[in-house]
Each structure stands twice: as structure tokens, then as C-alpha cells.
């Protein structure tokens, strides 16, 4: 299958970045949302993202303008998807909303159109529960910011065709992503399971007073995180020697946090309404300008890291 046009449903945190990724790779995109104001905000974010890429000499201003021209916005779902070869769903994580959307897509989309969900919450078996077109549905889980992070997790199921899977992988490679395919549909997929394990232990160390938040973050970003940008944990174990890692894990495993729920400190902060950057305070405190500066710094560093990886 050749993908000539994309539709992205939902223009929020993930949707606008996904649409940008496809458009920058030369594929026309119809970006849909329920309100014009959401779409206007999304285009503003895409423009800012592209401006940063120009500043970092990743693309030219001509490429920026061409990319923006490839993104068309609409609040009409049928018009947005009727000629799309590939549809990415990036709506809120409410299963009833997703089922309702899929039912509409079955009526509005071309019979051969691939339907992919960006969910990080629901297993593919749940998403296709009410579908009559399961053979062309799968999950393509992007990571925030979607326009910069290379990883996309593909979650398939027993009914999806090989052609759909192969076409999806080729499409993601074409837009510069690194797709991985899960052989089993497990909660949290791969990356979020690994992240959750690290976050749980990080908060355990913070609660135990081992170090402050800043130093714990540095321990990851300047240590394992530095290595993991090019060498994952399994290959790291190979380099260090499996006999060594056997002893490390045997010694440390009994000492690691074993709780089955979110760390107490996270729960307390949530109860206090201190949710992080979105409320101005979490573990750290933020001013509005500080958040904007940190996001800019983060994205700039991601762009520079991507250049090195390439």
C-alpha cells in the first residue's frame, strides 16, 4: 500500500506533533478537531516547532512553509478522513469516545484505510472490541513531543494483516521514526513500563531522603540516560558482563521499592493539586516563563541529540 494522504484526529498535545511529522516528510495531512480554536492553537504550536527546527539548521524556511501548506484543518470529520489512506486517532483516553469514533470511521473512511490509535492506556484487544474492521486497526504509540522523539511503539493483534503492519512500519521509517513491534499486547507497552520502574525507584529515593530531587534527576540524565541514548539497558548489561549484572541485581533487588501503587509523594502532590508544570508546582516550583524556557531548552536539546544520532 502507498500512503498518499494522512488524517490525524485530535490536535492536542500529541496530535499536532504527529501531524507535523507526517507533513514535514512530504505527506499531506488533514488535521481534525471539534473546535476551530483547538485547531488554531495547534497550528500555532506547529509553526513554533518548525521555527525552532529552522533556527537549529535542521530544515530551511522554505521547508517550513511547505510543511505548513501540507496541513489542512477541519471540524468536519467525514471530510477529513474520506480520502485518507492512513488515519491516526489521538483523542482523549476515554474508551467510549474511541469506540464512537471508530464506528464513524468505519462509515466515512475508504475500505482499505489503515486506522491507528496513539493510545498509551488501552490494549489493542479493547480498542477493536466493537470493530468490524479489526484487520486494518493497530496502535502506533508516539512519545511526547511527537515531532521530536524517534520512538513509536506498534502494537498489533492476531487479526491485523501483514500488509497493514508492513505498510505502517515503512510509513514510520519514512517520517524519520524508529518503530518497534510488540510481540505481545502488555499493559504500558515497553517504554512506559521501563519508565515507570525508574520513576518508582526515583521517588522512593527522594522519600527516603537519599538525595534531593535535582541530584536524583542528574543521576539519571548524566549517568544511565547518557548511555541509553545510544545503548539500551540490555546491551549495557552485555557490555558490563552478565556475571557482573547478576551479582548487582541479586544484591539490589531485595532493596528496591516493591510497592504496587504510585509513590506516596506523588499521591500527596496530586491531592494538593500540585501537578507539575501545568499548575506551577509539583516536586519543583515553576513560573510561567520558566516552563516556556524549559520546554524550549528541552526541545532544542532533543533536536541536537537527534543530529548526533543521525
Are 122 and 39 a contacting pair, CB within 8 Å?
A: no
What are all long-range contacts of 190-195, with beta carbons under 8 Å and residues at least 24 apart? 190/153, 191/143, 191/151, 191/153, 192/120, 194/233
Strand 86-89's sheet: what is its strand order? 71-74, 29-32, 6-9, 86-89, 114-117, 137-142, 151-155, 178-182
Cell of 202: 526515583
| Phi and psi based region of residue 273 (left: phi greater than 0; alpha: psi -120 to 50; beta: remaining) | left
Active-site position among 16, 21, 153, 204: 153
Tell me if residue 11 is catalytic: no
**120 given a catalytic annotation:** yes
Catalytic residue among 192, 201, 207, 281: 192
Residue 189 grid coordinates:
507497552
| 106 in active site | no
Cis before 145 (ω within 30) = yes
Cell 515497553 belongs to which residue? Answer: 190
Catalytic residue among 56, 74, 120, 207: 120
Question: What's the alpha-carbon Rg for the chain, to the nearest Å?
Answer: 21
Tell which residue, 210, 213, 221, 217, has the closest CA to residue 281.
213
CA distance 22 to 172: 9
Calculate helix-pair angle for 264-271, 191-207, nearest 10 degrees: 90
Q: Is residue 141 annotated as part of the catalytic site, yes or no?
A: yes
Residues with catalytic function = 120, 141, 153, 192
Amino acid at each position: 500500500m502507498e500512503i498518499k494522504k494522512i488524517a490525524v484526529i485530535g490536535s492536542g498535545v500529541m496530535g499536532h506533533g504527529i501531524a507535523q511529522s507526517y507533513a514535514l516528510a512530504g505527506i499531506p495531512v488533514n488535521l481534525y478537531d471539534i473546535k476551530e480554536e483547538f485547531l488554531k492553537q495547534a497550528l500555532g504550536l506547529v509553526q513554533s516547532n518548525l521555527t525552532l527546527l529552522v533556527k537549529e539548521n535542521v530544515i530551511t524556511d522554505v521547508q517550513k512553509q511547505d510543511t505548513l501548506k501540507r496541513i489542512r484543518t477541519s471540524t468536519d470529520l467525514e471530510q477529513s478522513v474520506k480520502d485518507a489512506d492512513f488515519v491516526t486517532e489521538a483523542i482523549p483516553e476515554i474508551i467510549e469516545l474511541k469506540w464512537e469514533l471508530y464506528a464513524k470511521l468505519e462509515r466515512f473512511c475508504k475500505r482499505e484505510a489503515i486506522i491507528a490509535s496513539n493510545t498509551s492506556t488501552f490494549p489493542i484487544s479493547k480498542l477493536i472490541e466493537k470493530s468490524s474492521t479489526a484487520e486494518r486497526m493497530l496502535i502506533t504509540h508516539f512519545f511526547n513531543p511527537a515531532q521530536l522523539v524517534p520512538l513509536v511503539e506498534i502494537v498489533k493483534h492476531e487479526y491485523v494483516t501483514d500488509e497493514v503492519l508492513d505498510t505502517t512500519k515503512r510509513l514510520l521509517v519514512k517520517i524519520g521514526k524508529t518503530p518497534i513491534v510488540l510481540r505481545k499486547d502488555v499493559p504500558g507497552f515497553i517504554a512506559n513500563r521501563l519508565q515507570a520502574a525508574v520513576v518508582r525507584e526515583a521517588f522512593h529515593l527522594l522519600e527516603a531522603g537519599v538525595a534531593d530531587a535535582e541530584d536524583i534527576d542528574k543521576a539519571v540524565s548524566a549517568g544511565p540516560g547518557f548511555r541509553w541514548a545510544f545503548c539500551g539497558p540490555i546491551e549495557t548489561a552485555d557490555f558490563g558482563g552478565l556475571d557482573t549484572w547478576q551479582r548487582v541485581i541479586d544484591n539490589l533487588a531485595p532493596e528496591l521499592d516493591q510497592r504496587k501503587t504510585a509513590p506516596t509523594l506523588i499521591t500527596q502532590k496530586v491531592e494538593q493539586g500540585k501537578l507539575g508544570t501545568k499548575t506551577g508546582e509539583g516536586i519543583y516550583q515553576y513560573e510561567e516563563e520558566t516552563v516556556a524556557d524549559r520546554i524550549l531548552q528541552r526541545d532544542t536539546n532533543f533536536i541536537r541529540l537527534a543530529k548526533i544520532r543521525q
